[in-house]
Structure 1
């Protein structure tokens, strides 16, 4: 299936994890993919990006247009998470989380809109189940992802009449390198792996490729009547009540 033939996709944070799976899926389906992140991408055309700099998003979009002449799909995937209680969370760290997880996507969308308007393109944001609920010590992350979900809806409402769609995926526990390392470094990795599987009705954790499959659908023309939605990709975790 070549749903993205002759289309250009920008994927932030596309060098690893969910972003890498999204970049590969879009490329496999015909897209010209450009990734943007701090590190060099050995697989795809890439642009160096420090999203803590508010001038970076506009520069990135301008570079994509200079290289390809168009933009059809914007994937806002770059993000960060840190663990700290509210009383331990500095204002600087709070701002770092919001800047990368929420402000950078806003600035990228703003810069991309003139070009997405021309192609009737669309946007998919990587949110999180923690934009819908909360794990302990994740105040900044939860707030930023909830904000990203709200931004998703607003863009869909404001720009749908121009043919621009905007949706988000909200992954749960996904087997990225970061999460797999976390499991391996747990005091009892086998017990942790067993326990993390039990909280999911499907009895396992998810893969980056499963998130990428949904992103590809939302970015494709066949999802033309889908916009403003937040789709959980969590193996049913958010639907399962805890035991008494």
Structure 2
């Protein structure tokens, strides 16, 4: 197993992409602290090697507490996955200041200051791996996503800067930029369309692989980035989108 003896902290790890990462980390032998606003579901709560931490990551005062609790419980930290975040759709004329502030607080500020809080624990372990979850919307944009795109582009840039600053500590920092990954929210969105079957077929056609991604596939990449097998890889944003952004659209 690739992560035996490793201790990970994953934000937003109870569902969607975060759950895919947590499940794969556990399969590979890691112990995992899962941070989210609500309690863990019973399956995760009862799993050996899992610690649930309830916290509001938009509150900076809670970030150091989260890292300390995870490190104290397991005896250190080797891996930090900054996955938690929010997204809303607003035109430029409709974006409200409080919404912008909340998105930046969760999507950008929390990852940076949680990394700061995790740093001394990783230093004591001789190094570590930080994985930030960005998005293909840090590279391109959908309508009404100006704030979200800004936050994810910021994550990509911050990842490079963190890698530069932390390299001498043997702490690597990389980002994953997922495309469309199946989740409860994405399934509800497709089901809400006038013709859900046609909508799903059109979505699949956007991808050269003719399908969307699964949370476990993001987890597979996160395992590699967290493991010693990627020991010379840092400062990169890896696009995981089934080829969607590689494909030029046709006008018909």
Range class of TM-score, shorter chain:
over 0.9
Of the candidates 211, 232, 242, which is equivalent to residue 225 of structure 1? Answer: 232
Alignment of 1:206-217 (within 5 A): 206-217=213-224
SS state at 1:10 partner? strand
Deviation at 1:228, TM superposition (A): 0.4
SS state at 1:170 partner? strand
In the aligned structure 2, how far is the partner of 1:4 from the partner of 1:216?
Answer: 8
Q: Which residue of 2 aligns with 1:118?
A: 124
Query: Does 1:241 find its partner at 2:240?
Result: no
Q: Which residue of 1 aligns with 2:20?
A: 21
Is the CA contact 2:64–2:114 (under 8 Å) kept in the aligned structure 1? yes
Q: Which residue of 2 aligns with 1:49?
A: 55
Deviation at 1:56, TM superposition (A): 1.4
Alpha-carbon deviations, 1:60-87, whole Å to 9, x = none? 0011122112000000000110000111
Deviation at 1:118, TM superposition (A): 2.1
Q: Which residue of 1 aligns with 2:180?
A: 173
Alignment of 1:12-161 (within 5 A): 12-41=11-40, 42=42, 43=44, 44-119=50-125, 120-161=127-168
Gaps of 5+ in 2: 45-49
Gaps of 5+ in 1: none
CA RMSD of aligned residues (A): 0.8
- Of residues 41-50 and 171-180 in structure 1, the stretch that sits farther from structure 2 once superposed is 41-50
Runs of 4+ in 1 over 2 A off after TM superposition: none
TM-score (norm 1): 0.98
In the aligned structure 2, how far is the partner of 1:89 from the partner of 1:30?
Answer: 43
Aligned residues: 243
Deviation at 1:112, TM superposition (A): 0.7
TM-score (norm 2): 0.95
Q: Which residue of 2 aligns with 1:196?
A: 203
In the aligned structure 2, how far is the partner of 1:166 from the partner of 1:76?
Answer: 11
Alpha-carbon deviations, 1:169-204, whole Å to 9, x = none? 000001111101111111110010000001111111
SS state at 1:83 partner? coil
In the aligned structure 1, how far is the partner of 2:8 from the partner of 2:114?
Answer: 13
Q: Which residue of 2 aligns with 1:5?
A: 4
SS state at 2:203 partner? helix
SS state at 2:33 partner? strand
Alpha-carbon deviations, 1:20-54, whole Å to 9, x = none? 11001011111011100011113032100101211
